[in-house]
């Protein structure tokens, strides 16, 4: 890029004599370089400042530079300027290819139709490239009939035309038809394969996607990206990470930003921090630009893996930030229980002139929930609508009901539910039920359970909660009846699952899991821990186990919760003093929370658990949540 600025300076200081070199020619070259270097704005500067009479090549170079860098609106507005400027050269097939691509990018049907009229007017309709772009455009805006008609009228069809058809069928949701076109193609290139893989992945058919991926005669980074993104989008995070580890070993394959953007969410979900850090180093070593997508994905990974300081470092290094970037930091701070910092980040966001979104307010409300700040929560809840015109969604109501319920304001919570403009869902009622349990309000609890079972007759959580309320009040008969009803309906709880990353591999544990190769060692570690913990005064919270079993069995059930297995595995497989990081899919239970506090003290380790709603930093027998979660 520096070299380019030098040439540009020369162009300004010593304009070439008009007869010998055409300034257009040099400008076209420079614009092309800017386009390839992802610097379309600079290309626009060269165009406006160095060309008094831009020719068609210059116009097309600029349009291409815009389109190449997804600057769709700029592409279209430059095209409109070109059309209305007196003596500007008329558009040709290259002009249209870029402009149609921009219309597809924006999925703007109206604009696309307008451009299509110009295509006809300037006689470019029979050009193959223009025609291919038009087919693609009509598929993207959902006008499949016109797309087909244009494809059928194509006189010469190349591999690009066929690829457009394959991608079009995938877009319209007819993957089988796409496959039959794909199978019938005389010639296929890498794009054909990747399109088909992405098509399968989009509709969750990962088996067929993988089969194609394995069958491909050769693969480039786009094919790998399609498969990794497919896994990540379908929540097969472990597979996404596995495939990424394979790509690292491929010689001659250059990992690009798309690859990283695809795999980072998988790292975030699994808590695979080592891999995430490797990616961060890779970005820095290769001097990759921290664009909006990559920056957001990296910051989000750090925030979700419990490294809020690193998340903030990435955020601060990003040249361009959008509302998603701010939301990542605010939500991250909230998840860590840093409520006041989340609030000040929100103020900072407003000072930067950024408009908050509904997700911003979810973050703020979550922060209030974890800190038990009811009045602040109410303030933000009302601010949404009154100041920013954002109508609260059901999630916001759920969060506020949760906040009110946790702090014992059950009446207000119930009133809020009845004032909701939408039908409350199981989560909203569930939040109130949680409050009923904590504050032993059996009467209200029964009422709430009725609402929940109306919505979802198989809702296991409500039976468990109700049974727990009865049990803790000593109404053991009612508790037993409740459990019986649950068994009659054959309700299964969502299995608790915990993940831990050791040596770049993610290990998964379910409750009572015996499948891990080191199972024996893990269980003997647990037994050892429990005897030490009991000496330290730990008592298992067996009243939470609702099964009709004796005390010893209850203790066993508790000691094999997935998070305890993961902790035990972490202890035997990492060196002394290493921080243990665990991710759990559900809320960490009271007993595990107590147990891990004690364990952190006994083994002198920091243990970080991310559960469904927040982070717990266990250290020296205490947790950062102060037992409020």
Minimum CB separation of residue 449 from Zn ion in Å reads 23
Candidates 15-23, 74-82, 502-510, 612-620; binding stretch for Zn ion (CB under 5 A): 612-620
- From the list 227, 225, 237, the residue with the least C-alpha distance to 266 is 237
Smallest gap from residue 101 Cβ to Zn ion (A): 51
d(CA 421, CA 271): 37
Residue whose token pair is 């399109």: 195
Report if residue 625 touches Zn ion, rule: CB under 5 A. yes
Q: Where does residue 92 fall: left (phi above 0), alpha (psi -120 to 50 degrees), or beta otherwise?
A: beta
Sole binder of Zn ion in the list 31, 283, 334, 623 (CB under 5 A): 623
Q: Closest CB to Zn ion among 203 and 510?
A: 510
Which part of the chain contacts Zn ion (CB under 5 A), choosing from 30-38, 57-65, 280-288, 618-626?
A: 618-626
Least Cβ distance, residue 626 to Zn ion (angstroms): 8
Residue 17 carries which DSSP code? P
CB of 622 to Zn ion, least distance (A): 9
Q: Which residues, 6+ apart, have CB-to-CB distance to 354 below 8 Å?
A: 321, 322, 323, 326
> CB 298 → Zn ion: shortest distance, Å?
27
Nearer to Zn ion, 239 or 555 (CB): 555
455 HSE (CA, 13 A, CB side):
16
Q: Which of 561, 581, 584, 605 binds Zn ion (CB under 5 A)?
A: 561
Q: Is 614 in the site for Zn ion (CB under 5 A)?
A: no
Residues 6+ apart with CB under 8 A from 295: 314, 315, 317, 318, 320, 321, 325
**Nearest of 53, 6, 66, 65 to residue 25 by alpha carbon:** 53
* Nearer Cβ to Zn ion (99/589): 589
Task: Give min distance, CB of 511 to Zn ion, in A.
Answer: 8
CA atoms within 13 A on the CB side of 418: 6
CB nearer to Zn ion: give 50 or 614: 614
Q: What does the DSSP 8-state code read for residue 490?
A: T
Would you state the structure tokens that stand for residue 600, as one six-digit string?
Answer: 């952190």
Give the nearer residue to Zn ion in terms of CB position, either 49 or 534. Answer: 534
Cα 350 to Cα 38: distance, rounded to the nearest angstrom: 29
Residue 26 or 526: which CB sits closer to Zn ion? 526
- Tell me whether residue 116 or residue 561 sits nearer to Zn ion (CB atom): 561
Q: Minimum distance between the CB of residue 584 and Zn ion, rounded to whole angstroms?
A: 9
Shortest reach from residue 623's CB to Zn ion, in Å: 3
CB atoms within 10 A of CB 206: 19
Minimum distance, C-beta of residue 562 to Zn ion, in the bound complex (Å) = 8
Comparison of 466 and 623: residue with beta carbon closer to Zn ion? 623
By CB under 5 A, residue 589 contacts Zn ion: yes
How far is it, in rounded angstroms, from Cα 457 to Cα 355? 41
Q: How far is CA 123 from CA 34, 93, 127, in A?
A: 30, 9, 9
Question: With respect to Zn ion, which residue has the nearer C-beta, 40 or 596?
Answer: 596
Task: Identify which range of 39-47, 67-75, 196-204, 617-625 contacts Zn ion by CB under 5 A.
Answer: 617-625
Interface with Zn ion includes 526 (CB under 5 A)? no
Residue 616 within binding range of Zn ion, rule CB under 5 A:
yes
Instruction: Give the nearer residue to Zn ion in terms of CB position, either 30 or 522.
Output: 522
Binding mask 590-609 for Zn ion (x = CB under 5 A): --x-----------------
Cβ proximity to Zn ion, 225 vs 366, nearer residue: 366
Rule CB under 5 A: say whether 533 interacts with Zn ion.
no
Window of 362-370, 406-414, 463-471, 560-568 that interacts with Zn ion by CB under 5 A = 560-568
Classify 619 as helix, strand or coil. Answer: strand
Minimum CB–partner distance for residue 629 and Zn ion (Å): 5
What DSSP string runs through 492-545? -PPPPEEEEEETTEEEEEETT---STTHHHHHHHHHHHHHHHHHTT----GGG-
Q: Are 493 and 581 in contact (CB under 8 A)?
A: no
Kindly list the residues in this chain that would bind Zn ion in the complex (CB under 5 A).
561, 589, 592, 616, 623, 625
């Amino acid at each position: 890029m520096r070299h380019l600025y030098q040439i540009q300076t020369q162009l300004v200081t010593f304009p070439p004599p008009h007869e010998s070199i055409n300034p257009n020619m040099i400008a076209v070259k420079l614009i092309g370089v800017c386009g390839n270097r992802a610097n379309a704005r600079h290309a626009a500067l060269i165009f406006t400042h160095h060309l008094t009479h831009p020719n068609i090549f210059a116009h097309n170079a600029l349009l291409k530079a815009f389109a190449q860098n997804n600057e769709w609106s700029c592409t279209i507005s430059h095209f409109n300027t070109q059309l209305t400027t007196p003596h500007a050269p008329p558009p040709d097939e290259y002009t249209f290819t870029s402009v149609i691509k921009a219309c597809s990018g924006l999925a703007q049907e109206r604009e696309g139709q307008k451009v299509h009229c110009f295509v006809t007017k300037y006689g470019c309709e029979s050009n193959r490239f223009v025609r291919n772009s038009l087919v693609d455009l009509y598929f993207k805006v959902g006008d499949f009939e016109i797309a087909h008609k244009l494809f059928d009228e194509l006189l010469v069809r190349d591999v690009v035309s066929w690829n457009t058809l394959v991608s079009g069928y995938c877009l319209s949701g007819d993957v089988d038809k796409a496959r039959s076109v794909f199978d019938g193609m005389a010639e296929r290139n890498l794009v054909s394969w990747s399109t088909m893989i992405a098509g399968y992945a989009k509709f969750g058919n990962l088996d067929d996607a993988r089969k194609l991926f394995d069958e491909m005669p050769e693969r480039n980074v786009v094919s790998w990206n399609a498969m990794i993104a497919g896994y990540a989008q379908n929540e097969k995070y472990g597979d996404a990470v596995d495939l990424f580890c394979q790509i690292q070993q491929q010689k001659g394959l250059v990992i690009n930003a798309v690859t990283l953007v695809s795999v980072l969410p998988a790292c975030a979900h699994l808590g695979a921090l080592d891999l995430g850090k490797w990616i961060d180093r890779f970005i820095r070593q290769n001097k990759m630009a921290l664009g909006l997508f990559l920056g957001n994905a990296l910051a989000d990974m750090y925030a979700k893996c419990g490294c809020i300081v690193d998340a903030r470092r990435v955020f601060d290094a990003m040249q361009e930030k959008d509302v998603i970037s701010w939301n990542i930091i605010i939500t991250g701070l909230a998840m860590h229980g840093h409520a006041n910092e989340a609030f000040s980040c929100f103020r900072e966001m407003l000072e930067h002139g950024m408009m908050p979104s509904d997700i911003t307010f979810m973050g703020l409300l979550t922060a209030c929930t974890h800190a038990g700040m009811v009045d602040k929560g109410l303030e933000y809840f009302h601010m949404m609508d009154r100041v920013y015109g954002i109508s609260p969604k059901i999630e916001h109501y759920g969060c506020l009901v949760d906040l009110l319920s946790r702090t014992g304001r059950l009446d207000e919570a119930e009133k809020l539910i009845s004032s909701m403009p939408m039908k409350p869902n199981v989560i909203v009622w569930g939040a109130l039920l949680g409050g009923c349990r904590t504050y032993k309000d059996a009467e209200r609890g029964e009422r709430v359970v009725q609402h929940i079972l109306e919505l979802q007759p198989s809702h296991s959580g409500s039976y468990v909660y109700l049974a727990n309320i009865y049990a803790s009040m000593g109404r053991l008969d009612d508790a037993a009846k409740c459990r019986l009803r649950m068994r009659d309906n054959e309700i299964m709880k969502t299995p608790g699952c915990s993940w831990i990353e050791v040596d770049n591999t993610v290990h998964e544990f379910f409750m009572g899991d015996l499948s891990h190769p080191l199972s024996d060692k893990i269980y003997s570690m647990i037994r050892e821990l429990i005897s030490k913990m009991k000496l330290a005064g730990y008592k298992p919270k067996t009243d939470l186990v609702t099964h009709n079993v004796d005390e010893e069995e209850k203790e066993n059930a508790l000691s094999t919760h997935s998070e305890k297995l993961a902790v035990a595995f972490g202890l035997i497989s990492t060196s002394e003093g290493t921080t243990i990081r665990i991710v759990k899919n559900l809320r960490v239970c009271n007993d595990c929370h107590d147990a891990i506090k004690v364990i952190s003290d006994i083994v002198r380790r920091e243990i970080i658990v991310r559960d469904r709603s927040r982070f717990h930093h266990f250290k020296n027998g205490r947790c950062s949540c102060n037992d409020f979660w």
